Structure 1
């Protein structure tokens, strides 16, 4: 039976990054849906509502990039140990 690897500060930093990305994704989707609904109810111009779409897209792309970066870092650290 192998021993569990001790958690390093680098591991904690990666977990914080993933947690931050997950929060950004969740809050982005909730706000985007809410603003789409409010914009439709209040008759906001399409240009204004489209800005929310662009902002949501940018936030989700950022979260995707962070998630990919963390995945590559974890993979690289496992390869360095092996």
Structure 2
């Protein structure tokens, strides 16, 4: 079994931390936008805009997580 490269592992760990922050931050911001939109009585199109932004961030996190998983398989 080959020994993993420490620099490569640090890079993958950094990417994984970034993904975790993006997921947590997106969830907090999305919930805040939904709450604030309801309190201020904003139009539903703004809620949909927040939903699409959150979906884009979650999709990015999913793609990067898959890339990290693939790199660790090799």
- Pairs within 5 Å for 1:1-82: 5=3, 8-76=6-74
Q: In the alignment, which residue of structure 2 is the partner of 1:80?
A: none
Unaligned 5+ residue runs, structure 2? none
Number of aligned positions between the proteins? 72
What SS is found at the alignment partner of 1:28? helix
What SS is found at the alignment partner of 1:53? helix
TM superposition shift of 1:7 = 5.6
What SS is found at the alignment partner of 1:19? helix
Unaligned 5+ residue runs, structure 1? 77-82
Q: Deviations over 1:14-72 (max 9, x none)?
A: 00000000000000000000110000111000111110000000000000100010001
> Stretches of 4+ moved more than 2 A in 1?
none
